[in-house]
Chains A and B, each alone.
Chain A
């Protein structure tokens, strides 16, 4: 029996309209697109409002955390962007945002993205009883170095460097093939879930 739940009907209708883009662009698809964007913007706004209440209003009013007035003033300064004359004032708060987020990304990078990767590669330098894993470890070390050589900018990719860079490119392509396969898996699963909503929850085919 087909579902009698209004909510499921709304969902199913939206999904079908959404999937119609596969055939061609049409008004139903555009309706879902605009609905999606409208709700998304509204949702973000609500969340931001809740954040402001819990992180600014409550601490200042009930806990007298007056240090928080500084970011509030800086935040208000962002709005100067609306004035053509004083728009430059907004650069000050933007500098804070840019500075903090860049600093946090950079300071962690040395360890996780450089040292840890080097250490992990180094630790493959162990002779094991089975030949295959020795070969694999050797390949990993060599191809990792070759991949790095691909990113050398100031030396022409010729001779030994050229060969290494070529091996690096090939290694990267194998890596990408691997990730594409996984990415497809990551898209297929939501599709299965969607079809399950349609076929099982809505049409009750099973």
Chain B
């Protein structure tokens, strides 16, 4: 077999074939053994992505180890990269050594991961205020609609306002129930059409990029 076949045609054919199989399982009534095999296929991807994790770990070390080693570089950079690697290794060792429900792992998780994970979402509330200050300006008709709709729904969501002025809530609710619904529907149908067309392009091996990297 030529190297082009091995490198490009076979992987593309595998993807198309899998597409056909999984489609067939959905649309056609099949014997149980076959549909079992196909649900097994779904599990395969989970296993495959586990193997990809090793590559990712290598990527992380490839970025941070040289940074730690680089003499003469910014001291704080070196220390931070070292800390990242250390805490990563500790988490892995504790997680594998003691298992995840253990008190040791829970300590790391509850006290280091959870507060920062909440922190990301919390800090976004601040940045939302900042971004809205910069971008929410009624420059055009469209932008005006955006601002007015946003304002109506935000005030609708304010528990005090709906308690004091009950009818105000109906304005925001109208935005949610009329343009909120119809705009979503138009968007969703459009995306649905796009997704199916994408699937057909993959069947026809026109979307090669995720497999071969080429357009």
Chain A contact residues, CB within 8 Å of chain B: 7, 10-11, 14-15, 18-19, 21-22, 27, 30-32, 34-52, 55-56, 67-68, 70-72, 74-76, 78-79, 81-82, 88, 91-107, 109-110, 112-114, 117-118, 120-121, 136, 139-148, 150-151, 168-188, 190-191, 193-195, 197
Contact = CB atoms under 8 A, between A and B. Distances in A.
Main DSSP-derived SS at the B contact region: helix
A72 B47 contact: yes
Interface in B110-169: 110-119, 121-126, 128, 132, 141-143, 145-154, 156-157
Contacts of A171: 179, 182-183, 186
Interface in B54-113: 54-58, 60, 76, 80-81, 83-92, 95-96, 100, 105, 107-113
Given A177-B147, A177-B148, A42 B119 contact: no
- Chain A CB count within 10 A is highest, among B27, B47, B109, B142, for B47
Nearest to B144: A173
Contact of B189 (A118, A191, A194): A118
Contact of A107 (B23, B80, B96, B145): B23
A49 B95 contact: yes
A52 B146 CA distance: 47
A48 B50 contact: yes
Report the 10 A-B pairs with minimum CB-CB distance, sorted nearest first: A147-B186, A42-B91, A177-B149, A113-B192, A175-B183, A46-B95, A99-B18, A75-B51, A106-B199, A181-B153
A39 B114 CA distance: 10
Given A18-B119, A44-B53, A91 B179 contact: no
A121 B185 contact: yes
Contacts of A36: 112-113, 116-117
Interface residues of B, number: 119
A182 B125 contact: no
Interface string B42-55: 11111111111111
A79 B54 contact: yes
B206 interface: no
A68 B202 CA distance: 26
Given A42-B91, A96-B45, A173-B143, A178 B149 contact: yes
Main DSSP-derived SS at the A contact region: helix
A174 B122 contact: no
A151 B182 CA distance: 14
A178 B150 contact: yes
Contact of A71 (B47, B84, B117): B47
Contact of A173 (B7, B109, B125, B145): B145
B192 to A, nearest CB: 3
A110 B190 CA distance: 11
Nearest to B54: A79
A118 B182 CA distance: 11
Given A102-B202, A105-B195, A139-B182, A39 B108 contact: yes
B145 A97 contact: no
A50 B80 CA distance: 28
Given A42-B88, A193-B122, 16 more contacts: A34-B81, A43-B113, A45-B88, A46-B105, A71-B47, A78-B52, A91-B211, A98-B15, A102-B15, A103-B199, A106-B199, A142-B182, A147-B185, A176-B183, A181-B154, A187-B124
